[in-house]
Chains A and B, each alone.
Chain A
Amino acid sequence: MPFATPLALLGLLFVPAVVAMYLLKLRRDEAIVPSTLLWNRLVADVEANAPWQRLRRNLLLLLQLLLVIALAILAARPFVERPAGLARDLVLIVDASASMGATDVVPNRLAAAKQAAIDALRDLPSGGKVSVIAAGRTARVVATGSGDMARVRQAIDSIDVTASTGDLGDALRLASALAARSGDAQILVATDAALATVPTTRVDAPVRVLQVGRQRQNQAIVALAIRTAPSGLTKSAFVSVANLDDVQAKRRLEVYADGALIDSRDLYIDPQARAEIVVDDITQQNKRVVNAIEVRLVDDPEETASSDRLASDDRAWAIVPRDRLRRVLLVTDGDPYLETALTYLPNTELYGVSPANYGPSTHPEKFDLIVFDAHLPQSLPSTPILAIAPDRSGPLGDVAGSLTAPGIGSLDPQEPILRYVDLSTTHIAEAKKLVLPAWARSVIPGPAGAPLLYAGDRAGLRTAVLAFEPRRSDLPLQVAFPILVANLAGELMGASSGPNDAVKPGDPVSLPIPSGATGLHVTRPDGTSVDLVPGTVGGTTVTFSQTDQPGVYTVTPVLPPSASGSPGASASATPSPSPGASGSAAPDIDPGTPFRFAVDLFDVGESNIAPGNASAISALGNSGTTGATPGASGAPAPSGNGTAVAQRPAARDELWGPILLIALAVLSVEWAVYQRDALIRVWRGIGARRRRPAGGS
């Protein structure tokens, strides 16, 4: 029998030591008896005075020798060898996507996958190395080329279920890169194969899949949105619930407003269908301001067995957008089209001032957007700016001349500013010839690279420049004009609060830093908090990436001690109200007001927990050696791995278990022998106690 640490067999040297201790004459207490006549006869056959005879009869010594031998062998770690079923360099991918939290296997799929992976590692040849990759939203290496199985097990154990959509392709690419460094590599994927995005990456190594999961019972909240009613007074929640099971499901939908239950609906959803639910009037409940809406999908109390195996998609959150008045200053000599279009913007107060009256006394810093129509001031304010047909070059861009009847270039359909904007019938009489600055992107391309509209982030300030005056085109007469103005205003002013749409778990989110704040304090759904400071001095946004938990995140701007009051609250707004705009002074917005954003899964593909096709994943690998199983050594060795497979060391099974059992058994027997008198007395006592009541009756 081979040993992993044969030097430990030196422990057998304790055997003669134990024997020697027994051979040494015991120092005995003397007891004077009237006569040793009877004792002599008793020990006559025991031969107490002959050490060797005593040795042979001493059960304790034998047991102790056995124990020493067992411990020495245990320390030497004996093992048996068998053909290895895995390659020498193994890359283990453990799927940690949300669907792995399904409880159709106990306790959940991830635990089963981890156990399957640990079981599979027994086939690793001796000296084999294991890299472990957790495949969540992105691939994460938790162990690299480790030969220490304890560390590998620890790394596997450290993988937790994430709430995000998994990307197995990313993990496979990483695994392929790790495998490429070795001549004898194999990729082991522990997954339920219920993949939201099916990987297509080809891998130059054999891929074996350890599939877990059996059922597809799941219902999920796949969408939740808050919309303002056309009246502008109430808000409604739109919820979409999908039944991904093969049978009809009965669930209950509970709607909470800031933790208080406001509505409950029983849903009957057909198999593979969605139920769309609209919950009206969510903010008027209890006549109070509602920050966040949570919807929960719970089991019907009358149903005995749950028809849902994945809990992480049964809750969703949405932030109720604040109705905040925004102030727009229009610096113009008068453009009725523009004024009218801006007046139609919801929750907006429009102020007007002529270019001649514009100056520091206008307090441009108190406006959310300033529109400069044809004229640019000497110094630009630190607010978002929409410049229309700038008359001269400046920080907003260079004016290289004029264009007459410029054509509109091909438009990007993904451009948010042009959403629902149809410019196909628009004609422009005259426009400025602008040069696209480095900070901007071209929104409406013009002739010869001169943009007709560009937008971007200029030193943290949203800025857009339109090359032509609307009235110098037929655009104001088209339906596209108010939409374009609304989109531009949304783009330029939208950054003043957090993201309104739900963020996917794990996705980084860009958070604006209000003016006057030095940083942000983000409280996560579990109560932990993170302090964020901008990467550059004076930066206006900061990226937050710890969005792995679904739920509501609260962002509180951190104000410097001196700026705790409302800056500019005492300053009066001097611009004269423009026609149609309310003249009342708008309340100043405190930059310290916290805002919120929600993180939700909202992924039908990930919520579909039906076990997928494992062979499709296996097929991505170098299929020639996929079947490298024990006993398959006779198979023709394909590709360059053949030599490596032939030279692969055998797997080792250490035999510590049975030896430890033997040692424990010997130890127990030794103890029992040592205490045999006490045990016999106890046994006799029990026997006497049993006999006594029997005799008494």
Chain B
Amino acid sequence: MTLTEPGRPNEARRHAFLPSDVDPTVFDEAFLRQLERLLLLMKSPVRGGLKGGRRSVKRGQSVEFADYRDYSLGDDLRQLDWNVYARLERLFVKLFVEEEDVTVTFLIDASASMAAGRPPKLLFAKRAAAALGYIGLASEDRVAVSVLGGRLARRQPSLRGSGRVFRLLTNLSAIVPADGPTDLLATARRAAAMLTGRGVLVLISDLLDPNAERVVRELAGTSAELIVLHVLSPDELDPKLEGDIRLVDSETGDGVDVTVDLATIDGYKARLAAWQTGFAELAAKRRASYVTVSSDVPLAELVFAELRRRRVIG
């Protein structure tokens, strides 16, 4: 799979319809084939793109009937269904789908740590954003991408309509990892400040930041529905280290001396699991979705198995 072997650009063949400013090493032919396959699979069940968008539908002023509910004191009497009252002598209020412009915003962590791993987590993040963004565009949602790197959050112009998919790919392929350390909290705050109205917020990050929990907490506190895609590379999930070594942080350059043996690895895995559980609990508490994923998971599996299983997409 080309997806799992990103370090070989020579083998990546440019798709015939791919614009010239799309990085062929990020969105190679194999990926595009997967995307096409994704589209075919999406055709029948596509009703409303991402789950967050569907859940945010307001029942209110609209022409499209949605549901009934019992009348309660204070409801608008104009919404009562008198025909039903005539038949059943009970009061029901008609609910209508409120058509709202939903924005799907991708917050892509472009810190230096995201560039690490095999395959690199950032590459996986870009492809995941492309796939999910494609679904969003196909569902007539607005799709926006914000890049969290360094101390800045760069928000790219939002796109709409399935015809803009190549623009999305171009934008995504232009993302490069930050050179120095990244303040995830500050950049996430800035990105959150740029959100407009309701929508879906997809944070794709390895969360390897001391303030990651606050980031999740604050983003979950916004009006948007938060989906956290926690990406870790296979060698982070199961480190292949042994002996007396000095681990050097790729972002900060700080080192930590550690004697790695089986017990250490076991301890690491236990801590990793506890760390992920902490995020999962936090997300559950804040009504956000949290999905952990390894960067070597095939995209189709991510979309159709992992995200569906977790009811992230409908």
Binding site for B on A (CB under 8 A): 26, 28-43, 48-49, 676-677, 680-681
B225 on interface, CB distance cutoff 8 Å: no
Q: Is there an interface contact between B254 and A36, defined as CB atoms closer than 8 Å?
A: yes
With most chain B CB atoms within 10 A of its CB, the pick from A29, A33, A49 is A33
Residues of A within 8 A of B246 (CB): 28-31
Does B81 reach chain A (CB closer than 8 Å)?
A: no
The answer to whether A48 and B258 touch across the interface, beta carbons within 8 angstroms, is yes
Going nearest first, the 9 A-B pairs with the smallest beta carbon separation are A35-B208, A34-B113, A34-B116, A28-B246, A677-B262, A36-B249, A35-B113, A48-B257, A36-B256
Nearest CB in chain A to that of B262: its residue: A677
Number of A-B contacts (CB under 8 A): 95
Instruction: Please report which residues of chain B, range 35-56, place their CB below 8 angstroms from some CB of chain A when the two chains form the complex.
Output: none
The answer to the question of B247 belonging to the interface, with a C-beta cut-off of 8 Å to chain A, is yes
Mostly, the B contact residues are mixed
B208 contacts A34, CB within 8 Å? yes
B161 within 8 Å of A by Cβ? no
Sample (13) of A-B pairs whose CB atoms are under 8 Å apart: A30-B246, A32-B247, A34-B112, A34-B236, A35-B209, A36-B248, A38-B268, A48-B257, A48-B258, A49-B256, A676-B261, A676-B263, A677-B242
Q: Which residues of B sit under 8 angstroms from A32, Cβ to Cβ?
A: 116, 247-248, 250
- Who on chain B is nearest to A678 by CB? B262
Indicate whether B13 reaches chain A with its CB closer than 8 angstroms: no
CB of A35 within 8 A of CB of B257, answer no
What residues of B have a CB within 8 angstroms of the CB of A29 in the complex?
A: 243-246
Interface centre among B121, B206, B257 (most CB of A within 10 A): B257
Q: In the complex the two chains form, is A33's CB within 8 Å of B248's CB?
A: yes
For residue B65, CB closer than 8 A to chain A, the reply is no
Please report the C-alpha to C-alpha distance between residue A681 and residue B261 in the assembled complex, in whole angstroms: 11
With a cutoff of 8 Å between Cβ atoms, the chain B residues found around residue A680 in the complex are 262
Q: How far is the CA of A271 from the CA of B256 in the complex (A)?
A: 92
**B19, CB-defined interface residue at 8 Å:** no
Q: Check if B241 sits within 8 Å of A35, measured CB to CB.
A: no
Tell whether, in the assembled complex, residue A37 and residue B244 are in contact, meaning their CB atoms are under 8 Å apart.
no
CB distance from B205 to the nearest CB of A (A): 11
The residues of A that contact B256 with a CB separation of less than 8 Å are 36, 39-40, 43, 48-49
Give complex CA distance A35, B117 in Å: 11
* B272, chain A: closest CB distance, angstroms: 6
| Known contacts A31-B246, A34-B117, A677-B261; A41/B254 CB under 8 A | no
Write the chain B residue with the least CB distance to A32: B248
Across the interface, which residues of B come within 8 angstroms of A34, CB to CB?
112-114, 116-117, 121, 206, 208, 233, 236, 249-251
Please indicate the chain A residues that have their CB under 8 angstroms from the CB of B249 in the complex: 33-37
- Please state if A33 and B268 are interface contacts (CB–CB under 8 Å): no
When distances are taken between beta carbons in the complex, the residues of chain A under 8 Å from B247 are 30-33, 36, 39
Question: Is A37 a contact of B209 with CB atoms below 8 Å?
Answer: yes
Residues of A near B239 (CB, < 8 A) are 33
Q: What 0/1 pattern do residues 207 to 218 of B give for CB contact below 8 A with A?
A: 011100000000
Query: B68 contacts the other chain (Cβ, under 8 Å)?
Result: no
Q: Is the CB of B241 within 8 A of A31?
A: yes
Contacts of A30 in B (CB 8 A): 245-248, 255
Considering only residues 245-281 of chain B, those with a C-beta below 8 Å from chain A are: 245-252, 254-259, 261-264, 267-268, 271-272, 275
Residues of A within 8 A of B271 (CB): 38, 41-42
Q: In the complex, what distance in Å separates the CA atom of A32 from the CA atom of B242?
A: 14
